[in-house]
């Protein structure tokens, strides 16, 4: 599966990925939260200033999030609360 982010260890936004059509976003089984959380943001362009929360939020657990957006859009991951043990990887599938 393609990565939305891989081995993220610090707070902040990960560069967006362009996607066309609906997708499912999933936490990779190797993720170590270490107290962090990850929010999935969406926008019609890769401009970080235009990113808004998509409704996908992962808090210290594995899971998935269905994004029913149509057309071409960008998804980005925003990490908060990272510690020395945080290592977050999130993938998507269409």
pLDDT of residue 32: 94
Helix (H) or strand (E) holding 74: strand 72-80
Taking only the tens place, the pLDDT of each residue in 6-41 is 999 999 999 889 999 999 999 999 999 999 999 999
* pTM exceeds 0.75: yes
Beta carbons of 79 and 32 less than 8 angstroms apart:
no
Domain boundaries, the chain: 3-93
Q: Which CATH class is domain 3-93?
A: mainly beta
Q: What are phi and psi of 57, to 5 degrees?
A: -140, 130
């Amino acid at each position: 599966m393609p990565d939305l982010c891989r081995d993220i260890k610090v707070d902040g936004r990960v560069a967006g990925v362009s996607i066309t059509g609906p997708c499912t976003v999933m936490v990779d089984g190797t993720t170590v939260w270490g107290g962090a959380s990850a929010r999935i943001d969406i926008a019609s362009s890769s401009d970080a200033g235009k990113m808004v929360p998509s409704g996908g939020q992962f808090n210290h657990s594995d899971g998935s999030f269905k994004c029913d957006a149509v057309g071409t859009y960008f998804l980005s991951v925003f990490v908060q609360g990272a510690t020395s043990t945080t290592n977050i990887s999130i993938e998507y599938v269409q």
